Amino acid sequence: MSLPNRFSSIAASSIAGRQRTPLKPLARFFVLALAVAVTAGCSSTGGTQGGESYGDATGSNGTRGNGASTSGTGSGGQYGTDGAGRSDVGQQADSRIPEVRTIYFAFDRDTIKDEYESVVMAHARYLRTNDDAHVVLKGHTDERGTREYNLALGERRANAVKRFLRVQGVSSSRMSVVSYGEERPAVRGNDDQARGRNRRVQFSY
């Protein structure tokens, strides 16, 4: 499933901008941590991610404006355009809830796609930097199949993200998992695109 980039332009530009700066010690740590995650069998197929996959990663959650206002960061859009190229962007980002708060999954899978690993890592960074932050990982499925079985599948997805975060050094006590199964679709419709947008895990702070 490929997501259209129009959902992602703003958030993508900010993260991609950050990613293009040379690797700092912190970033190097994350690459290392990713390697650990991979060897820990954390549903990851590994591989490094460049600016390209970061761009694809966003997909956003369709609530760009909402996300920004609920996090209290003012305007996410400005951050996106102004932030690119600034040397302190990475530091700033760690004190703010990452803007991309939804990642998407393939049908019947709970594997975190390569393109979303950076998103999960941004949340790991945020959670490590902010001791009192707590995230609820909300797992969702598309509408196909039975409801209770989909609750279980949604929980599997959210748990895959939780495992990934734990390997990244986030304590389990800072995370909780709730599966909504197919009960809270992000979009209506039963074509492949709508289903792809519904198979997701949301980071809710």
Partner 1 sequence: MKMPENLPLRSAYLAHAAVALALVLFASMARADDLTIEITRGSDSATPIGVVPFQGSDSLSGDVARIVQDDLARSGYFDPLARDAMFARPHSADDVAFGDWRSLDVRYLLVGRREQNADGNAIRYDLLDVSGGRPILQESITVGSDHLRGAAHRISDAVFEAITDIRGAFSTRIAYVTAQGVGDNIDYGLYVADADGHNSQSVLTSNEPILSPAWSPDGKKLAYVSFENERPSIYVQQVSSGERIRLTDFDGINGAPAWSPDGRRMAMSLSRDGQPEIYLMNLADREIQRLTHNASIDTEPSWAPDGRSLVFTSDRSGGPQLYRYSLDSGQAERLTFTGQYNARGRIGPYSEQVFMVHRSKQGYQVARQDLESGRLVVLSDSTQDESPSIAPNGTMLLFATQQGGKGVLSAVSVDGRASFRLPAASGDVREPAWSPFPSSGR
Smallest separation, CB 67 to partner 1 (Å): 12
Of 44 and 61, the one with the shorter C-beta distance to partner 1 is: 61
Contact code string over 55-74 relative to partner 1, x by CB under 8 A: -------xx-----------
Interface with partner 1: number of residues (CB under 8 A): 27
Q: How many CB atoms lie within 10 A of CB 158?
A: 26
Q: Among 153, 160, 204, which residue's Cα sits nearest to residue 179?
A: 153
Of residues 52, 82, 183, 192, which one binds partner 1 by CB under 8 A? Answer: 183
151: contact with partner 1 by CB under 8 A: yes
- Distance separating alpha carbons of residues 200 and 198, to the nearest angstrom: 6
Contact assessment for residue 13 and residue 81, using Cβ atoms and an 8 Å cutoff: yes
Footprint on residues 114-143 left by partner 1 (CB under 8 A): 143
Does 147 engage in binding with partner 1 (CB under 8 A)? Answer: yes
- Burial class for 203, CB neighbours closer than 10 Å (0-12, 13-18, 19+): buried
Say which residue the tokens 């709730």 belong to. 178
Regarding 97 and contact with partner 1 (CB under 8 A), the answer is no
Please select the residue that binds partner 1; options are 25, 88, 131, 188, rule is CB under 8 A: 188
Closest CA to 101 of 74, 62, 132, 130: 62
Catalog residues that contact partner 1 under the rule CB under 8 A: 62-63, 143-149, 151-153, 155-156, 177-181, 183-190
